[in-house]
Structure 1
Amino acid sequence: MILETDGAKPIYVQIAEWLETEILNGNFITDQKVFSQYQLAEIFNINPATAAKGLTLLVEDQVLYKKRGLGMFVTGEAKAIILTKRKEHTLKRLVSELVAEAEQLNVDFNELITMLKEASNRGE
């Protein structure tokens, strides 16, 4: 993953989203230890405090839990929490933006559905 340092999304949010994706992909499973803030800082060449802020977001969302002196670990509910969050926030926002763009371009609902089906069939 390459961080977008000039984008609107803060780096610590990008770190949290990257870890969420790693959990969704099965690269981290329930009760498995994740990278420390220092490991993340080294991997992404960022400040450890920035990495720690990303980890803190995931603790606040109950995706990770802390074991004092041992590190951060994946909760049993992590995958479900991430899926729900991404459906409720990310996907709904993207769909709203897509519908607004389609309306501006005078693309009717059926044409939009056809485009979605085609994209799904191509694996986009």
Structure 2
Amino acid sequence: MQFQFDSSEPIYRQVAEQIEDAIANGGFEEGEQIPSTTEISKEFHINPATVLKGMNIVVAKNLIEKRRGLGMFVSRGARDKIVNEKRDEFFESFVVGLVKEARNLDISEQELLQLIKRGYEK
């Protein structure tokens, strides 16, 4: 985990994103225990309440679950939920704009697909 303390994005949101990214990238497997609030706060010198606030975001999305007396664990299906959410964000953030710009430049669908294929080949 890496945190940008000079970023405009609040640390608690960075905590949530770091946990989600670790789940999506296989750093934390389904059913696996994640580091505790205390462990994260000590290792990265972050207020425990801030870490907990970030973890609660991930809990609210049903990506991790609290097991009383045991800690936090990655929920079943968490990786798939995150990947699907990121794909939707990718579509909205990049694909829609790409297609709009292609239309503005009179690039046909076939030409655009060829350009994308060329990008994959690089």
TM-score, with structure 1 as normaliser: 0.75
Tell me which amino acid in the other structure corresponds to 2:75.
Answer: T
Provide closer, same or farther for how the CA distance between residues 82 and 114 of structure 1 changes in structure 2, counting only shifts above 3 A. Answer: same
Match of 1:67 in 2: 67
Match of 1:33 in 2: 33
d(CA) in 2 for partners of 1:66, 1:15:
16
Deviation at 1:42, TM superposition (A): 2.6
Provide closer, same or farther for how the CA distance between residues 99 and 15 of structure 1 changes in structure 2, counting only shifts above 3 A. Answer: farther
Deviates more, 1:75-84 or 1:15-24: 15-24
Deviation at 1:50, TM superposition (A): 1.4
For structure 2, list consecutive stretches of 5 or more residues without a partner in the other structure.
none
Deviations 1:23-60 (A, max 9, x none): 12222112111011122223333221111111111111
Q: Please say which structure displays the higher CA radius of gyration.
A: 2
Matched, 1:84 2:84: yes
Deviation at 1:112, TM superposition (A): 5.0
Provide closer, same or farther for how the CA distance between residues 97 and 65 of structure 1 changes in structure 2, counting only shifts above 3 A. Answer: same
Deviation at 1:22, TM superposition (A): 1.3
Matched, 1:10 2:10: yes
Tell me which amino acid in the other structure corresponds to 1:68.
Answer: R
List, as ranges, runs of 4+ consecutive aligned residues in structure 1 with deviation greater than 4 Å.
97-100, 109-115
Match of 1:57 in 2: 57
Tell me which amino acid in the other structure corresponds to 1:21.
Answer: D
d(CA) in 2 for partners of 1:7, 1:97:
26
d(CA) in 1 for partners of 2:28, 2:38:
18
Provide closer, same or farther for how the CA distance between residues 118 and 7 of structure 1 changes in structure 2, counting only shifts above 3 A. Answer: farther
Tell me which amino acid in the other structure corresponds to 1:47.
Answer: N
For structure 1, list consecutive stretches of 5 or more residues without a partner in the other structure.
none
- Output the aligned Cα RMSD: 2.7
d(CA) in 2 for partners of 1:73, 1:41:
17
TM-score, with structure 2 as normaliser: 0.76
